[in-house]
Amino acid sequence: MPEKILVVDDEKDLVDLIVYNLEREGFEALKAYNGEEALKAVKAEKPDLVILDLMLPGIQGMDVCSIIRKDRNTAAVPVIMVTAKGDEIDKILGLEIGADDYVTKPFSVRELLARVRAVLRRFAVSSEIEKSETFDFKGLHIDFSSHVVIVNGKHVDLSPTEFKLLRFLSRNPGRVYTRDQILDHVWGESFVEPRTVDVHIKRLRAHIEENIVEPRYILTVRGVGYKFADIS
């Protein structure tokens, strides 16, 4: 079965162009021109990915993404946010409410298709990792059940929080997380400052990276947050 992509934008010519190219690449493509139509299509069609414009008539793209994430039946659907704005704050807000990637208008169709494939691959990899008890990547071995971490054949001792941080990021390779998102997933309801994430990332890198200046596992995404390297 072809993967199903929902394209949401009020520019009908742009939607038609994206849909045409998605179908030419073998995807099944659906259209929506406002937030209300998008939410109905997500519930009824259960797409494998949503390409969602930030500026929509009616319900805004940010709100659509937030509603998708809050519904347990749609929470796992990947979302690529599209915005005409270049401000870092829009990118950060989009990621904070649950977007998995973003592209800024104007963009090339080739770039968008590459993002679509990358996000779909990333989710497929994350699903496999989630089912697995171990993880291996470029000399890094993690046993999630026994909390064992080995780097290039040597055992590494991590604190419980450092291990939780590594487990969270490595189970979601390639996906960018803001500091606030990492706090929510790793520290939960604790009253911890966002800077705490930076401190623990630095400590974790000191344990597992050969070169903390040029890390190969835990990467910094300037102006946004952190991610584990893309392994797909």
CATH of the domain at 69: 3.40.50.2300
Same domain, 114 and 84: yes
Tokens encoding 173:
């390779």
Which of 127, 144, 177 is the endpoint of a domain?
127
Coil, strand or helix at 44: helix
Confidence (pTM): 0.71
pLDDT at position 202 is 95
Same domain, 104 and 161: no
- Residue 225's identity, in one-letter code, is G
pLDDT at position 122 is 84
Same domain, 178 and 102: no
Q: For residue range 109-124, list pLDDT tens digits in order.
A: 999 999 999 899 888 8
Which one, of 165, 228, 170, 175, lies nearest residue 198 by Cα? Answer: 165
Which of 127, 145, 162 is the endpoint of a domain?
127
pLDDT at position 87 is 63
**Residue 45 Rama label (left phi>0; alpha psi -120 to 50; beta):** alpha
Report the CATH number that the domain containing residue 137 is assigned in CATH: 1.10.10.10
Same domain, 89 and 13: yes
Same domain, 150 and 104: no
Query: What one-character DSSP code corresponds to residue 85?
Result: -
pLDDT at position 193 is 80
pLDDT at position 32 is 97
Same domain, 186 and 208: yes
Same domain, 88 and 108: yes
CB 47 within 8 A of CB 41: yes
Same domain, 121 and 208: no
List for the chain the helix, strand, coil content (%; round to 5): 45, 20, 35
Which of 102, 127, 152 is the endpoint of a domain?
127
Q: Which domain range does residue 206 map to?
A: 132-228
CB 164 within 8 A of CB 186: yes
In the chain (232 residues long), the average pLDDT of successive 10-residue segments reads: 94 96 97 97 96 92 92 89 74 78 89 92 80 92 94 94 94 89 81 84 96 95 91 76
Residue 187 main-chain phi, psi, to 5 deg: -100, -15
pLDDT at position 72 is 83
pLDDT at position 180 is 86
Coil, strand or helix at 188: coil
Same domain, 8 and 105: yes
Same domain, 81 and 192: no
Same domain, 180 and 208: yes
Same domain, 109 and 136: no
pLDDT at position 100 is 86
How many domains is the chain built from? 2
